[in-house]
Chain A
């Protein structure tokens, strides 16, 4: 069977199985087993469980549940409500201030966690309900968190950048630094869009209310005034969050903890804080936090584990590799090559998590990109941003699943429409990075010196 036919069959079967509604984790596994049975050596079926175990049994990956637990301790306790109360008191007058605060919170959490779904979950569990409570449309609130969550792999530490650094033989330190500039740029762009979209929803609500007077004022139009005294009284409520943030940052960047240890330490610290400040330490207080964490992290870890089987099959049948080889064989001009490669990354992002995309395509696409004169540190950042979009679009988009879990009542279509503008922003920022590579390379060059021979 030709590789093109095999590839088409694979995509068709995958789409059919996924859109039938089978849980993503089992759908990925089922497709993998079908193709293993039909097209791979019989013994492949004997090693599926070991492969999945080997994928999961790394503390780097398994830190995801712990990051989610830390987020749940804050987000699902009064600590989260107080934090958002304070933010509202201070930013209530700023249009879209709460949304911007959520983007910033995602960025801060991203600086502690190496994965996007963990960031999304930690901030979203409190952020989405709080924004909806204050009149943000459900899709908009979901979009903010989904997009903010993707910063998890762009801002250091980042699981995918670690893998990329190894595959591309680039300096991890340089790569981490290179992610900061574009990360800040995305934060700014997300915030700007958030303010704009908020004002739009605000004025729409205003028009609607004027059209039908006498109805209840919609939440988005309700503004509470706070005196300075009230505002000041809110400040101490931010303290637990600040303590946690400082504690974890000092442990991580001060050299006391390894990145994965930070996950466990952060969770413990969060529980100590809510026990000390809010007296939440009884089983009945903590049970909902642990249950929510388990539901979300198990769902995620199953998808991540089973997608390994799926990418095993894709790799063994040489599907992604053939696509990449085909692009390279066309020997296109410099920028066409880049565009084609990024398009491939987007297409693979429909089905695969970033980690699998890197492992399969890097060995094939990196040598020609290097030969075409692209700075591979810069490309790592660009590729990361493009892969981030894969996290927030269907069918397999880990961040979407996290949000679906936090707010099951928001229809998927609404979430997706809320996310689309953010995807556009991310793709635009890739274009910006092509014209202004210094946004990425400036910081590493300033800190670590310009490389004599840029590969």
Chain B
């Protein structure tokens, strides 16, 4: 079952890359909004694209880093039942958790890509005065959800074959 560990290693690398990108996205959003304040105050400039640019950055940060957060099991659930069930049922429960999460995210991913495809082929833009293509944020959402799906699939398979796919929680 080396192949699962191998893939997990590969996905971990990608997750780390996404966090680096996400950090840049956060920084970019902050700088863009600050630029908006400064340019309007000092130069009385028109500021009609900054909000939306920041939204795109932050949508990107949120979705692209979802798999990283899942790898560390930081998408929080209610752990009240943990430890109450006998061994076998508990194993089944943690398997079930990842399986259901995987099923939900797969559906969501599928619909994200169809949404992206629609926006792309119809040339949809946002309704603001800047009007950038909607395919950009939809694409970020679909890509992030796909990575999250792969991570959840690895978690699920990990249970079946007894391979650890969860990263340490610490910072």
Enumerate chain A interface residues (CB-CB to B < 8 A): 17-27, 29-30, 33, 45-46, 48-50, 52-53, 56-59, 62, 65-66, 69, 251, 256-257, 260-261, 263-265, 267-268, 271, 286-288, 290-299, 301-303, 305, 394-395, 401, 404-405, 408, 412
Contact = CB atoms under 8 A, between A and B. Distances in A.
Contacts, number: 188
Q: Is chain A's interface secondary structure helix, strand, loop, or mixed overall?
A: helix
Given A66-B29, A264-B31, A58 B69 contact: no
Interface of B: 19, 22-23, 26-27, 29-34, 36-37, 40-41, 50-52, 54-55, 58-59, 61-62, 65-66, 68-70, 72, 74-82, 93-94, 96-97, 100-101, 103-105, 107-108, 111-112, 114-115, 137-138, 141, 169, 171
B137 to A, nearest CB: 7
Given A49-B108, A53-B115, A268-B34, 8 more contacts: A21-B82, A22-B101, A30-B104, A49-B115, A66-B33, A264-B30, A299-B76, A405-B76
B75 A299 contact: yes
27 contacts: A18-B78, A20-B81, A21-B94, A23-B97, A23-B101, A49-B108, A49-B114, A50-B115, A53-B137, A56-B59, A59-B52, A62-B54, A62-B59, A65-B58, A66-B26, A261-B34, A264-B30, A265-B33, A294-B23, A294-B26, A294-B61, A295-B74, A299-B74, A301-B62, A394-B78, A412-B78, A412-B79
A26 B26 contact: no
A264 B141 contact: no
A294 B65 contact: yes
Contacts of B171: 288, 291-292
A408 B77 CA distance: 12
A24 B76 contact: yes
A62 B65 contact: no
Contacts of A24: 75-78
Contacts of A287: 23
Contact of A66 (B30, B76, B105): B30
Contacts of A45: 107, 111
A57 B59 contact: yes
A61 B23 CA distance: 18
Contacts of B34: 261, 264-265, 268
Contacts of B107: 33, 45
A19 B61 contact: no
B72 to A, nearest CB: 7
A52 B37 CA distance: 29
Given A53-B137, A69-B30, A22 B100 contact: yes
B25 to A, nearest CB: 9
A25 B108 CA distance: 12
B32 to A, nearest CB: 7
Nearest to A15: B78
B108 A265 contact: no
A299 B78 contact: no
A31 B105 CA distance: 13
Given A45-B111, A299-B76, A412-B78, A264 B54 contact: yes
A69 B54 CA distance: 14
B77 A22 contact: yes
